[in-house]
Amino acid sequence: MSSAEINSGSENGTMIDTIIKEGKIVPSEITVKLLQEAIIKGGNDKFIIDGFPRNEENRALFESVINISPEFVLFFDCSEEEMERRLLGRNQGRSDDNIETIRKRFKVFVESSLPVIEYYESKGMVKKIDVTKPIPEVFEDVKAIFYPYGLKFNNT
């Protein structure tokens, strides 16, 4: 969603790109507006939102504006050391794949995003997956979580 907006060259896209490069979180009003537009355009009654909410303000605004609470929250559990190794090794040419920005993102996650996970965990809504396991095992764990919700996976 954010990448599509960034690639559009819009004023919002330029601002989002700058914020991401600084390792910060995009303002809730912008993210919720983009999510609302995507949900309406999608026309489905079920959808997956990746990487959101990132902080308590995101969560509260999304739930009040969109008036939706998640069925569950999928949390990929991984150590900072492993995430750093993977991000530096993914070689996607992203401007935010450098050690300084990655470490800023870790700090933001611990300070802002982890409390959101803890909030949903207190409501019994978090489903954790240990992603340090081999990819095929992680994929099987993900499929097992989504299977009861009717989501089908193509193994190709």
List of residues 6+ apart from 140 with CB closer than 8 A: none
- Residue found by looking up tokens 């009861």 in the block: 148
- CA-CA distance, 123 to 7, in Å (whole number)? 37
**97 token code pair:** 């794949």
pTM of the predicted model over 0.95: no
Write out pLDDT tens, residues 71-102.
Answer: 999 999 999 998 888 888 876 667 777 888 88
| CATH number corresponding to 2-149 | 3.40.50.300
CB count within 10 Å of CB 32 equals 20
According to the model, what pLDDT value does residue 99 have? 84
Domain coordinates in residue numbering, the chain: 2-149
Cα distances (Å, whole numbers) of residue 60 to 23, 46, 113, 120, 140: 22, 20, 13, 12, 32
DSSP-assigned beta bridge partners for residue 77: 130
Lowest model confidence (mean pLDDT) among 6-20, 64-78, 120-134: 6-20
According to the model, what pLDDT value does residue 72 have? 94
Assign 4 a pLDDT band (cuts: 50, 70, 90). low
Assign 51 a pLDDT band (cuts: 50, 70, 90). confident
Q: Where are the alpha helices (DSSP H) in the chain?
A: 2-8, 11-21, 28-42, 56-65, 80-89, 99-108, 114-122, 135-146
Residue range 6-31: mean pLDDT, rounded:
75
According to the model, what pLDDT value does residue 125 have? 96
According to the model, what pLDDT value does residue 11 have? 67
Q: CA 132, 137, 141, 147: dihedral to nearest 10 degrees?
A: 150
Which is higher by pLDDT, 111 or 95?
111
According to the model, what pLDDT value does residue 136 have? 95
**Nearest by Cα to 102 from 119, 114, 90:** 90
According to the model, what pLDDT value does residue 116 have? 95
